[in-house]
Amino acid sequence: MKILKGDSTLGKPPGEIQIARRRLADAENQWLIAREQARAAKRRRKEVKEAARRAKKQAKLAKREFAQAKLALAAAEAKLARVSQRKAQATAKKDVKAKPARRPAPKKAKRSVKSPSPLPPLADQAVVDPAQAAPATAPAAVDQPIIVPPDPGSPGPSSFPPAN
């Protein structure tokens, strides 16, 4: 075995030093890889925790929305029940108050606005020209309204002034 000048203090052959250096480099590489894996695992755990927190928040929010929707449904069903109950009561009242069927009143004849056709005078009547005929009553003043007194036998209060 040869001893090198630089390694004279160790007293080992140069091959053993190279093997030790390689072992040191391999151990360092393994340490760096393990350290990186530990960091990645820590990061993954952190992400999983954050995902779990988000999931919990979403679950709480969904639970609140479910409760609100449930209350809204209950309120709508109660309102529908009240309306249905009112309609049923109204129908029942109508059935109780129902009167016997009446015969419908006869329809009034429609008035036509047609002008009367001129009829020939009868043989025993004289033909009178309306322009020459004397009026039966004196013409009323234009400014005063015409007041017609009620029939004396008609019931009810009279809003007409007393007759002179």
- Whole-angstrom Cα distance, residue 58 to residue 37? 31
Listed by start position, the domains of the chain span 12-97
For residues 130-152, give the mean pLDDT: 61
Count CB-CB contacts under 10 A for residue 3.
Answer: 13
Tell me which residue has tokens 């249905």.
84
Whether residue 29 is predicted with pLDDT greater than 60 in this model: the reply is yes
Give the DSSP letter string of 85-110.
Answer: HHHHHHHHHHHHTPPPPPPPPPPPPP
Q: What is the pTM of this model?
A: 0.37
Instruction: Report d(CA 151, CA 160) in Å as an integer.
Output: 11
- CA-to-CA separations, 48 to 30, 37, 42, 55, 59, in angstroms, rounded: 26, 16, 10, 10, 16
The predicted-structure confidence for 95-140, as pLDDT tens digits, reads as follows: 656 565 667 777 776 666 566 556 555 555 555 565 665 555 555 5
CB-CB contact of 9 with 17 (8 Å): no
- Please give the Cα distance from 4 to 81 (Å, whole number): 105
Least confident window among 22-26, 38-42, 86-90: 86-90
